[in-house]
Amino acid sequence: MPRTSLKAALISTLLIIFALGVGAAQAAQSVDLIPHRALYKMSLVSASRGSGIADATGTMLYSFNDGCEAWASETNVNLKLVYAEGGEVETNWSFASWEAKDGTAYRFRVRHTRDGNLVENLKGTVRRADPAAASEARYSLPKDKLINLPEGTLFPTRHLLALIAAGQTGRPVFSRTVFDGASMDNPYEINAIIGRDRMATSPAALAAGKLMSAAGLKQHAVRHVRMAFFPRGSMKPEPEFELGVDYRADGIARAIRQDFGDFTVDLTPATIEPLKRPGC
């Protein structure tokens, strides 16, 4: 897999029912995503010799809120790369989104810095009369930037719902076009392979299970989802980046493995807190 930008790979941590079969659509209606706040610690799994990376550490703070008419999420990532020849690079990346539950509106903002210097600042909206209609993403930062979205494009939470529903109905392969607004490479064609939980008895899985039980969360089935991200229109056979997530049936990620191309990191939960739903 070719080296990809750190910014693009960070997008895929975000932590998604259109064009589904009848069984999957019914399953999606029964998916209950739990509002929560979770802190994940990042650690280096591997790095290619050519990367020069000796270590990678950091955190990701993720929150997901369920409102009466919309979902809202926020992700804050701090990643420090240490190089074998000396020197460090610290990246901070924040992303926030608001997504109407009927699929007709979406708002987002992004701020990305490297060693304290601003790299990217994005903000925009999508509005469409029909949730499956072709539309445009309009950026106010950068000013007047437009991105065309094809029919059936999903926003992130709808995509997550659809992934979980596909797993519940036994679909091993699931592909959709997804827009989150977090980069100019959007939208992405995301090809997912959905498997069974193969890590249920691993030390990391057991520790995560205890953490979630202590937070008062019920036990749920877990499925491993491997996702490959292709910028729409790309002719390259390799994905721009890949992401593996162990998803509980309530949408909480028990573990995340991020493949940046020339190095890979694991994200494991350190703290988790269920959040209250509003009284609608």
- pLDDT on residue 198: 65
The string of pLDDT tens digits covering residues 19-34 is 333 333 444 457 899 9
Cα–Cα distance, 127 to 109 (Å, whole number): 15
- pLDDT on residue 196: 81
- pLDDT on residue 225: 95
**What global pTM score does this model have?**
0.87
Dihedral angle of Cα 170, 172, 177, 181, to the nearest 10 degrees: 90
Cα–Cα distance, 16 to 228 (Å, whole number): 14
Q: Name the nearest CA neighbour of 195 among 161, 265, 245, 261.
A: 245
Q: Where are the domains of the chain?
A: 6-274
Signed CA dihedral, 246, 252, 253, 254: sign only: negative
The ranges of the chain with pLDDT < 70 are 1-29, 198-199
Residues in contact with 102: Cβ distance below 8 Å, sequence separation at least 6, in sequence order? 69, 131
- pLDDT on residue 11: 42
- pLDDT on residue 36: 97
How many Cβ atoms sit within 10 Å of the Cβ of residue 52?
A: 16
- pLDDT on residue 9: 46
Signed CA dihedral, 37, 41, 46, 52: sign only: positive
The string of pLDDT tens digits covering residues 31-51 is 899 999 999 999 999 999 889
- pLDDT on residue 19: 34
Radius of gyration of the chain from its Cα atoms, rounded to whole angstroms? 18
Q: How many CA atoms lie within 13 A of 38 on its CB side?
A: 26
